[in-house]
Amino acid sequence: MEQLEVNLKQSGGALRHISAQFVPIADDNQGITKVIALIQDRSDDFRQQQKNKVLADTLNASMAVIAFTPEGEILEANENFLQVMQYQAGDIIGQHHRMFCEPDFYAENPNFWQQLAGGERFTGRFTRVDAKGNKVALEATYNPVKDSNGNIVKVIKFATDITERINKTQQVINMAAATSEQTSTITRSAVEVLSEAINSAVKIADELKQIAEDGRRLSEQSTKVTDMVVTIQGIAEQTNLLALNAAIEAARAGEHGRGFSVVADEVRNLAESTATVTKSITDIVNKNSELTETMDGKLGVLSEQALAGTDKFTLTSEGLEDISNGVKQLVELMTQLEI
């Protein structure tokens, strides 16, 4: 009996995959009298096989592929897998999967192969060790394969080497962490400087308030001096008037009142001098009052500006702290991302 598989083109141009078995028929003398052909159209199976082949070729070309027995012994591996792990095929065929693993993997997954043999599929990121002892980061799936009876006959692993991506990501995270630390250091220094500036501004504001208070008291004293000068002016005017009366009486007394007249003139001169001096004092006091009022106004403005500056310093300090906290939160988020 002979078997033959051929592709036949139909009249419409479509291809059909035909499987034919040729069975010879013998007569009583064992001579071949005819041949019966048993023909089966296997086009659907053939197309599915072709699709599976294309898929397998694509996976083999782009991914690291390795096959295991249900117990974890290595059956075969494609070239991509051998290059990633830096092994030759003869070095790994027949060996157990644990040759690629760090010691803690099986300590954390003691029933790994029992679960795969039970049909459970594993997907995730795995750290493995290559032939030179270097760590390799793989994004992989372990896929149990069943035969036509539903029995697990092998496990195929499809993997992608993400070591370079993980390393670059870690570098970025490290750089971000270093930047965060620098930002925190700069922020702390800036906050300290701002705190000192705030304290200085508050002290200046307090001192300006004290100076303003001293100016107010000086103004009060000036008012008192003005009142005293007014009193002295009144006395001088009264004295001048008495001196004038005394001069009139001395004139009436004639020769006997001459000495009294001289005293009256001196008293009048003294009163006039007192009036002149008190007027000068009054002018000075009034000028000082004006200067004190001007100074008080300017000190009030300076005090308000100093206090406003402390508010701005405080806002700036809080803003710097927010920036520092934001950078720290960004680094924490980056370390948690699945990259």
Domain identity same for 139 and 215: no
The full 3-state SS of the chain, as one line of letters, equals CEEEEEEEECCCCCEEEEEEEEEEEECCCCCEEEEEEEEEECHHHHHHHHHHHHHHHHHHHHCEEEEECCCCEEEEECHHHHHHHCCCHHHHCCCEHHHHECHHHHHHCCCHHHHHHCCCCEEEEEEEECCCCCEEEEEEEEEEEECCCCCEEEEEEEEEECHHHHHHHHHHHHHHHHHHHHHHHHHHHHHHHHHHHHHHHHHHHHHHHHHHHHHHHHHHHHHHHHHHHHHHHHHHHHHHHHHHHHHHHHHHHHHHHHHHHHHHHHHHHHHHHHHHHHHHHHHHHHHHHHHHHHHHHHHHHHHHHHHHHHHHHHHHHHHHHHHHHHHHHHHHHHHHCCC
Domain identity same for 74 and 174: no
Domain identity same for 217 and 71: no
Domain identity same for 202 and 103: no
Domain identity same for 93 and 224: no
Query: Ramachandran region of residue 86, left (φ > 0), alpha (ψ -120 to 50) or beta?
Result: left
pLDDT of residue 210: 77
In a domain, 52, yes or no: no
User: How crowded is residue 133: how many other Cβ atoms within 10 Å of its Cβ?
Assistant: 7
- pLDDT tier, 95 (very low <50, low <70, confident <90, very high otherwise): very high
pLDDT of residue 246: 67
User: How crowded is residue 181: how many other Cβ atoms within 10 Å of its Cβ?
Assistant: 14
pLDDT of residue 75: 97
Domain identity same for 301 and 327: yes
Tokens of 311: 């508010």
In a domain, 125, yes or no: yes
Alpha carbons 69 and 71: distance in angstroms, whole number: 5
Domain identity same for 67 and 199: no
pLDDT of residue 48: 65
pLDDT of residue 258: 60
- pLDDT tier, 54 (very low <50, low <70, confident <90, very high otherwise): low
- Of 9-23, 122-136, 184-198, 304-318, which range is least confident? 304-318
Report residue 14 CA to chain centroid gap: 63
- pLDDT tier, 213 (very low <50, low <70, confident <90, very high otherwise): confident
In a domain, 149, yes or no: yes
Domain with residue 3: its CATH number is 2.10.70
Domain identity same for 19 and 72: no
In a domain, 81, yes or no: yes
Taking residues 69-83, report their average pLDDT: 96
What is the span of the domain harbouring residue 175? 168-336
Of the three residues 136, 161, 186, the one that is the final residue of a domain is 161
Output 98 or 47, whichever has higher pLDDT: 98
Alpha carbons 142 and 156: distance in angstroms, whole number: 6
Domain with residue 137: its CATH number is 3.30.450.20
Of the three residues 111, 138, 161, the one that is the final residue of a domain is 161
User: How crowded is residue 152: how many other Cβ atoms within 10 Å of its Cβ?
Assistant: 15
pLDDT digits (tens, 9 = 90+) for 224-269: 777 776 777 677 677 767 667 766 766 776 665 566 666 667 766 7
Of the three residues 161, 181, 211, the one that is the final residue of a domain is 161
Token pair 């971000």 is at which residue? 176
Number of domains in the chain: 3
Quick one: 218 exposed, middle or buried, by C-beta within 10 A (0-12, 13-18, 19+)? middle
Cα angle 73-97-52, degrees, rounded to a multiple of 5: 70
The per-residue pLDDT of the chain, averaged, comes to 78
Quick one: 60 exposed, middle or buried, by C-beta within 10 A (0-12, 13-18, 19+)? middle
- Of 78-82, 89-93, 184-188, which range is least confident? 184-188
In a domain, 86, yes or no: yes
In a domain, 56, yes or no: no
Alpha carbons 127 and 31: distance in angstroms, whole number: 69
In a domain, 55, yes or no: no
Domain identity same for 271 and 141: no
Domain identity same for 21 and 70: no
Domain identity same for 226 and 173: yes
Tokens of 244: 């004038």
In a domain, 49, yes or no: no
Domain identity same for 156 and 176: no
